[in-house]
């Protein structure tokens, strides 16, 4: 059974983006995203990070593909990403799941991270493969044009890799929350 781990940072008004960028500059929060999505227990494996075409484009060219991770980019059009190593383009979730369940490919990756944006999160939350949501809850409202979808039927869990308590950066406070799908079946 596949396990989708969603990772997102959202403001008090559930915002996640503005003008195809993040509405905030929180360096440590970004480091948390990079650490969580990169770390593996096995040196020979990388994690897969799945994102929508706009999120991919939101990274400055020098920061993409996300290093040390296998990047999956979703688009309904033909994306030409052949110039990049460790980057794959997909048009449907079926294609993605087929790749993720391929026996040879399974030897190469450890965790599956879903990194947004809006519709990608929504699809993932509605999937039977939705396992956990790693949500950074920022205690501030921001002007946003992209939002995290509603979700329910989750319980709070803890993960030893996740720092506990209130974090503070540039006078902004936030918390790293971990939610698990109550209906996830191994
Ligand atoms: N705060 C956070 O944690 C966080 C995380 C990620 C992103 N963001 C922010 O969110 C914004 C970008 O997110 P977004 O929601 O606008 O866009 P997005 O999800 O990154 O990309 C949307 C595109 O993905 C493709 N797509 C989406 N669902 C698909 C599906 N089911 N099948 C095939 N293709 C699909 C389509 O590409 P085509 O149009 O090419 O067909 C669609 O236009 C930016 O502001 C970014 O900074 C924030």
Q: Which residues are near ligand 1 (CB < 6 Å)? A: 8-9, 16-18, 20-22, 51-55, 58, 74-77, 91-92, 115-120, 123, 146
Q: What are residue 42's phi and psi, to 5 degrees?
A: -110, 130
Q: How confident is the model at residue 186 (pLDDT cuts 50, 70, 90)?
A: confident
In a domain, 157, yes or no: yes
Predicted confidence (pLDDT) per residue in 113-145, tens digit:
999 999 999 999 999 999 999 999 999 999 999
The CA-based diameter of the chain, rounded to the nearest angstrom, is 47
d(CA 128, CA 147): 22
Structural domain harbouring 20: 4-181
Residue 106 Rama label (left phi>0; alpha psi -120 to 50; beta): alpha
The strand pairing partners of 143, in sequence order, are none
The residues pairing with 113 across neighbouring beta strands, listed in sequence order, are: 5, 49
Residue 150 lies in a domain: yes
Pairing status of strand 4-10 against strand 109-114: parallel
**111, 127, 100: which is closest to 181 by C-alpha?**
127
**pLDDT > 70 in the chain, percent:** 100
- On the question of pLDDT at 26 being above 90, the answer is yes
Q: Tell me, what CATH number does 142's domain have?
A: 3.40.430.10
Q: What are phi and psi of 115, to 5 degrees?
A: -115, 20
Instruction: Tell me, yes or no, whether 186 lies in a domain.
Output: no
Q: Does residue 102 sit within a domain? A: yes
Q: Is residue 13 part of a domain?
A: yes
Q: Which residues are catalytic?
A: 22, 29
Q: How many domains is the chain partitioned into structurally?
A: 1
């Amino acid at each position: 059974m596949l396990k989708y781990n969603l990772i997102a940072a959202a403001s008090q008004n559930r915002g996640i983006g503005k003008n195809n960028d993040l509405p905030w500059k929180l360096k440590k929060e970004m480091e948390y995203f990079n650490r969580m999505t990169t770390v593996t227990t096995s040196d020979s494996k990388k994690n897969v990070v799945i994102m929508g075409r706009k999120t991919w484009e939101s990274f400055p060219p020098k920061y993409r593909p996300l290093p040390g991770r296998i990047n999956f980019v979703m688009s309904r059009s033909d994306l030409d990403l052949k110039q990049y190593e460790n980057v794959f383009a997909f048009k449907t979730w079926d294609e993605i799941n087929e790749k993720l369940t391929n026996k040879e490919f399974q030897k190469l990756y450890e965790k599956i991270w879903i990194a947004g944006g809006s519709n990608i999160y929504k699809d993932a939350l509605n999937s039977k493969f939705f396992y956990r949501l790693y949500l950074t809850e920022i205690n501030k409202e921001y002007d946003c044009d992209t939002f995290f979808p509603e979700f329910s039927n989750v319980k709070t869990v803890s993960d030893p890799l996740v720092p506990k308590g209130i974090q503070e950066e540039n006078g902004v406070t936030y918390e790293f929350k971990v939610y698990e799908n109550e209906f996830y079946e191994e």
